[in-house]
Chain A
Amino acid sequence: NAGVTQTPKFQVLKTGQSMTLQCAQDMNHEYMSWYRQDPGMGLRLIHYSVGAGITDQGEVPNGYNVSRSTTEDFPLRLLSAAPSQTSVYFCASKQGVFYGYTFGSGTRLTVV
C-alpha cells in the first residue's frame, strides 16, 4: 500500500531552470494538493485539485503550474526556478472535502 508517492526526494536547481515534481496516489482519492513548508511559515497551499481535470490556485500559486489528467497523478511544475522557491514540497491527497490529508514524504528543493 504505497499511499502518496513523491519523486524526487531531493533536487538542486539553478536559477531559471524548470522542473516537474511528481506525485501519485493509489487510494482513489479525488482531492489532491501541493503545499510548501518553510521555517517559521508553516504549510502553505500552492495548488489543489478536486478531481481529474479540475485544478485551482491556492495561497501561493505564483511560479507554479499543475495539471490533473488522471485521478492518480498530480504533478507540480516550476516554470523558472528562483531562490525563493527553495523549500520542502509536500503532495497530499484525501477522500473528501471534510477529511484529513495523507501526505507524501516530500521533496527537498534547493534553488541556487
Chain B
Amino acid sequence: RKEVEQDPGPFNVPEGATVAFNCTYSNSASQSFFWYRQDCRKEPKLLMSVYSSGNEDGRFTAQLNRASQYISLLIRDSKLSDSATYLCVVNILTILAGAGSYQLTFGKGTKLSVIP
C-alpha cells in the first residue's frame, strides 16, 4: 500500500463549483498533515495545514479523520486561479538507512482545472 494516496484526477469543474479532494495515508502514527498547491512548472507552495478539529481559510476547508486515516480538502466557489495540482502531504515515521525519522511524504497530486 502506498503511504499517501490521492485520486490523480484530472478534475474539470466550472467556475463557481465546489470540489473536494480526498487523500488516505497508511501510517497511523503520522503527526502532521498539509495541503500544498503546485502550479505548472513551479515549486509546491503550502496551502494550509490540516488540524484534527478541521480548519477553514476563506474558500478552503480541510478535514482530518485520524481513525480512518483520511484527509480532505474542499474548495468552494472555484476560481480560474484555483487551477493547479493539489498535493496531500503527511509527516510519516520513515525508516531510512536503517534509522527511523519523521519525513514529509507527498502524494502524487490531484490536478484541478477550473473552466470558464
Residues of A within 8 A of B (CB): 33, 35, 40-43, 45, 48, 56-59, 90, 94, 97-106
Ranked 5 nearest A-B pairs via Cβ = A103-B43, A42-B108, A98-B32, A43-B106, A57-B97
A98-B91, A103-B45, A105-B42 known; 11 new pairs, CB 8 Å cut-off, are A41-B108, A42-B87, A42-B109, A48-B103, A56-B96, A56-B97, A94-B104, A100-B49, A101-B44, A101-B46, A104-B43
Q: How many B residues have CB within 8 A of the partner chain? A: 24
Partner of B44, one of A41, A90, A94: A90
Contact B102 A100 (CB under 8 A): no
Tell me the complex Cα distance, A59–B108, Å: 15
Tell me the residues in window 10-46 of chain B with beta carbons closer than 8 Å to chain A beta carbons: 31-32, 34, 36, 42-46
Tell me the complex Cα distance, A45–B99, Å: 15
- Closest residue of A by beta carbon distance from B89: A100
Q: Which residues of A contact B106 (CB under 8 A)?
A: 35, 42-43
Q: Is the interface of B mostly helix, strand, loop or mixed?
A: strand
* Interchain Cβ contacts under 8 Å between A and B, 12 examples: A40-B108, A43-B87, A56-B96, A56-B97, A98-B91, A100-B32, A100-B34, A101-B44, A102-B46, A103-B45, A105-B42, A105-B43
- Min CB–CB distance B99 → chain A (angstroms): 7
Contact B43 A106 (CB under 8 A): yes
Q: Which residues of B contact A59 (CB under 8 A)?
A: 96
- Closest residue of B by beta carbon distance from A41: B108
Q: Which residues of A contact B36 (CB under 8 A)?
A: 100
Q: Which residues of B contact A104 (CB under 8 A)?
A: 43
Known A59-B96, A90-B44, A104-B43: A97·B91 in contact at CB below 8 Å: yes
Tell me the complex Cα distance, A56–B103, Å: 12
Known A42-B107, A98-B91: A90·B96 in contact at CB below 8 Å: no
Q: Which residues of A contact B65 (CB under 8 A)?
A: none
Tell me the residues in window 85-106 of chain B with beta carbons closer than 8 Å to chain A beta carbons: 87, 89, 91, 96-97, 99, 101-104, 106
